[in-house]
Chains A and B, each alone.
Chain A
């Protein structure tokens, strides 16, 4: 019996090639999308699972309240580390202080590399159960040691043994390799940390670190910890909540206390997907995208299944005769149900094979778009189990309606030719088409709004000219100590139009301070300013826009006690004309000499933070260079590198283009936009395949009607209208349903961005017009084809 089912199913597939193609193509595209999305979701959900202590690793974070807004961050003060290590031994198996991940120059012989790494206390490798390929996890106990990732060890030493080799850090510190750990996979929070240096070594690098050992008010470091085996995160949370507050009280630091610090633990399982905090509450983060793509995937699969059902039932009248004959010859209804299920399962199985091929072919591209390194899990039995289970489910789901509908035909009627699907037989099909287009139109509107938001933010005036600017982080003193000579040589070479130092890059604000006072400051107002120490010529190099006053100048000896503020700062201090105002900063009086237009340095989606620019009293972390626009970029870069090599022979010339750095702030949103765009195109394509199938079926069904109308004098245009009208009505209904749905969801999404575009009416109008156009193009081919047919032929076919 099964053989007979398979045989007839196969022949049906082969005989109706177009129908089969539409069905299998649609279904396999749907399956491929679901597979890609599942891989993506799997990858997101397995983030950081590489770490064996996944369930017990935590980071200490804190909430602070500024003028009613709760800010949440990972920076904590140094003495908290010792406190947790000494007084909370029962709660934490390990707790380690860590610096931020920063680039450093690593040199060994002639090899010089700039790589990111951290200074951490010696138990860090135990917390993260680093897989040691050489040496042991105790390697950091020696204060002049370094642990390297296997990738970095290979890059520096090649195939030679790295153990006990000497490496110089930033041309200052000398350390010995005491271990090599397997580089954590890309989907971990540690994939960018290429080496770990001992915390004790860190304390020797900067004198001020000694001073802040007991300062509970300076939040500039991080703490990672491993909970003790029996510790409950909520209990520990409650215990540590007010440690900082209590110690500030002891130290009598009323000012920092006014920020109401509250400590808490953020578990590793939430670092990646739940990283957003709003007003002290964990509001999610990337998990929203997991949900969003999960839902899109489900919808695309439903679209594909709808196609299948629609086309199969649409063709049912053709298969009615077969059903009738089989019933006459003694087939039971369940045997027919079995036959139609065999057919749908066979098709689902082919679709599964095709979807595997499609995924294999598109994965490299998809990885690029999604910024992932996913692979098909060929050798994972779960993959096959789920894949095949999913194929069966799809086959059964897609085949259920045709199976039960077709098998219910009465043989007498179909064999006598009196069988005609009733007036309402097409209603379910129409509902399904409406559902398909509702999903597609919603996706189109959503994608347009995402892209528009990105574009809108990209076009936001940034307050300086980022084209032709490069920035280089300075890890050594070489350039700073010869700054004037470097500057002269660079100008002489004709490579640059400006050069200046700063302590933050132009694409970030790395330092914040509070406790300023100014004329008319309301009592109790908490302030928080971005601080950007810069050298002379910074403004000229960045081409910032002065609104009033002047730039820093060497001609004024007093400029070391002056500042320049941005518009946001002037507004915050409530100064219409800030120039000349005197501000008290760390007990010193400083005078505002200029006000500049807001420069977008942090998130382009957020309002610009009130910021203060002051002259650098020491070496800046960054050198900003404006390339001479009159010569080519590569020529200019060559000349700059030559000069840098002359003054800093031991540092690689490691620079970044400011506009590229700025553009990277849009990566997440652009990636989401591209992904949803990709899925939208597929959803539309699948819906159109279905529409095309339906149109060809309708044309076939109405051949006689068209013939009669033509004989009676209908023009091709009349007939085209007749054939298209029905579909246009369905799409209009879809648009009417989809528009408010899309508006509701996108309104909620866009509200997350303080700087955002409006959701304009033209997005909806444009989408409606586009959907209509696509519909007409899809159905017109069949409509016109049947309208052009010789009526004699169509009438004879009855």
Chain B
């Protein structure tokens, strides 16, 4: 599904140039669950942003489903993104002004799903995430665990082929964290590819493969049994 080759990304300020990704290459197959780990500043999040087409690489190739996307313009990226990729963030990133239902509905609006179909699909996914009873609440009225479940519901409602999760349990206690990991595992078992950035060895164990980064390069890969 994903093949990146010699990917480079630099951050420049007036005086210093920092290398975030240094000729990084990797592949992720369809249906895989991959964890990316590494110390702060190793380039995990940069990688995830590039994979999610939120950011451009400076050099190298990024093939998504055999299409070269490294230098797509914003419009094309947005189009590819909204049909194929779901995001789960550490800080949930729900829109405060919208209810649970409306937050989950949003990606469907952007992909032009008709209203009746939207209601059906949102209800389905809320049910699955066991958050249906909170459908009319606003994000601030929910616990962290509940908010992350809403965020996951939003990420999967469009049935994306790939879910990118950036420390999905980082703001949760261990019990809620485990719940979220179970949810992601279930999704993966149903065929969704998952790439997750994490600091937690415990969470990483849910994945099939751990890629460890240091200074923008792969230093080790562990295959989980």
Residues of chain A whose beta carbon lies under 8 Å from any beta carbon of chain B: 1, 4, 7-8, 11-12, 15, 321-322, 324-333, 335, 411-412, 415-416
> B78 to A332, Cβ gap below 8 A?
yes
> A330 to B49, Cβ gap below 8 A?
no
Contacting residues, chain B, for A332 (C-beta < 8 A): 75, 78
A322 to B97, CA, bound (A): 9
Contacting residues, chain B, for A7 (C-beta < 8 A): 102
- Pair count A-B, CB < 8 A: 60
A7 to B111, CA, bound (A): 19
B94, B97, B109: the one within 8 Å of A11 (CB): B97
**Known interface pairs A411-B54, A412-B49, A412-B54. Does A330 touch B82 (Cβ–Cβ under 8 Å)?**
yes
**Known interface pairs A8-B98, A322-B97. Does A328 touch B110 (Cβ–Cβ under 8 Å)?**
no
**In the complex, what's the smallest C-beta–C-beta distance from B172 to chain A, in angstroms?**
18
B89, B93, B111: the one within 8 Å of A330 (CB): B111
A156 to B213, CA, bound (A): 103
Residues in B79-137 with C-beta less than 8 Å from chain A: 79, 81-83, 87, 89, 93-98, 102, 106-107, 109-111
Residues in B53-93 with C-beta less than 8 Å from chain A: 54-55, 74-75, 78-79, 81-83, 87, 89, 93
Number of B residues, CB within 8 Å of A: 27
> A328 to B75, Cβ gap below 8 A?
no
Q: Does B52 contact A (CB under 8 A)?
A: yes
Interface centre among A8, A15, A328, by most B CB within 10 Å? Answer: A328
Contacting residues, chain A, for B89 (C-beta < 8 A): 415
Contacting residues, chain B, for A12 (C-beta < 8 A): 97
**Known interface pairs A4-B109, A416-B45. Does A328 touch B98 (Cβ–Cβ under 8 Å)?**
no
> B95 to A1, Cβ gap below 8 A?
no
> B110 to A335, Cβ gap below 8 A?
yes
Interface centre among A7, A333, A412, by most B CB within 10 Å? Answer: A412
* 21 CB < 8 A contacts A-B: A1-B109, A4-B109, A8-B97, A8-B98, A11-B97, A11-B98, A12-B97, A15-B96, A321-B93, A322-B95, A325-B95, A326-B95, A327-B54, A328-B52, A328-B93, A329-B82, A329-B87, A329-B110, A332-B75, A411-B54, A415-B54
A66 to B106, CA, bound (A): 83
A12 to B97, CA, bound (A): 7
Contacting residues, chain B, for A329 (C-beta < 8 A): 82, 87, 106-107, 110, 154
Interface centre among B49, B52, B78, B107, by most A CB within 10 Å? Answer: B78
Residues in B21-57 with C-beta less than 8 Å from chain A: 45, 49, 52, 54-55
> A333 to B74, Cβ gap below 8 A?
yes
Known: A329-B107, A332-B75. 18 other contacts (CB 8 A): A1-B109, A12-B97, A322-B95, A322-B96, A322-B97, A324-B93, A326-B110, A328-B87, A328-B93, A330-B83, A331-B78, A331-B110, A332-B78, A333-B75, A411-B54, A412-B54, A415-B89, A416-B45
A15 to B98, CA, bound (A): 11
Chain B residue at smallest Cβ distance from A9: B97
> B78 to A15, Cβ gap below 8 A?
no
> B106 to A326, Cβ gap below 8 A?
yes
Chain A residue at smallest Cβ distance from B79: A330
Contacting residues, chain A, for B79 (C-beta < 8 A): 330
Contacting residues, chain B, for A11 (C-beta < 8 A): 97-98
> A15 to B87, Cβ gap below 8 A?
no
A331 to B110, CA, bound (A): 6
A416 to B96, CA, bound (A): 17
**In the complex, what's the smallest C-beta–C-beta distance from B86 to chain A, in angstroms?**
9
> B55 to A415, Cβ gap below 8 A?
no
Chain A residue at smallest Cβ distance from B151: A325
Contacting residues, chain B, for A15 (C-beta < 8 A): 96-97
**Nearest 10 A-B pairs (CB), nearest first?**
A330-B82, A330-B110, A11-B97, A329-B107, A412-B54, A412-B55, A325-B93, A412-B49, A411-B54, A322-B95
Contacting residues, chain B, for A335 (C-beta < 8 A): 110
Chain A residue at smallest Cβ distance from B56: A412
**In the complex, what's the smallest C-beta–C-beta distance from B151 to chain A, in angstroms?**
10
Chain A residue at smallest Cβ distance from B107: A329
Contacting residues, chain A, for B87 (C-beta < 8 A): 328-329
Contacting residues, chain B, for A412 (C-beta < 8 A): 49, 54-55
Contacting residues, chain B, for A324 (C-beta < 8 A): 93
Contacting residues, chain A, for B94 (C-beta < 8 A): 325
A324 to B92, CA, bound (A): 12
**In the complex, what's the smallest C-beta–C-beta distance from B36 to chain A, in angstroms?**
16
Interface centre among B49, B95, B97, B154, by most A CB within 10 Å? Answer: B97
Contacting residues, chain B, for A330 (C-beta < 8 A): 78-79, 81-83, 107, 110-111
Contacting residues, chain A, for B154 (C-beta < 8 A): 329
Contacting residues, chain B, for A328 (C-beta < 8 A): 52, 54, 81, 87, 93
Contacting residues, chain A, for B111 (C-beta < 8 A): 330
